[in-house]
Amino acid sequence: MLLYNTFNNILTMKEIKEIKEINNYRAVGLIEGFESGTEKEIIKAWQYLHDTKTAYKLQGWYGRTAKHLIEIGTIKD
C-alpha cells in the first residue's frame, strides 16, 4: 500500500512509522476533526477507511469523498 500526501508525493517508510496507529474510531476522528492530527495522518485515515471498506459502510459522504480522493490521486485504490 502506497500513501500519498496532498501534493502527490509518496510518503517514506519513516513518515509512515511516525503516524500513530489507526483504527476506525481514530480515522473518523481525524477526518471529522475531533481527534487532532497532521495532514499525513488524515490522509492515512482516508486510506485506512478505503482499504478496510469502512468508508463505504458509513454515511454516503465518506464513500463519495474516498472515491474522489482516489480520482485525484491522494489515496490509492
Amino acid at 27: A
CB 55 within 8 A of CB 27: no
pLDDT per residue over 21-65, tens digit each? 889 999 999 999 999 999 999 999 999 999 999 999 999 999 999
pLDDT per residue over 63-72, tens digit each? 999 999 999 9
3-state secondary structure of 52: coil
- The domain limits of the chain are 13-71
pLDDT per residue over 28-38, tens digit each? 999 999 999 99
Query: Of 53, 33, 51, 31, whose CA–CA distance to 42 is shortest?
Result: 31
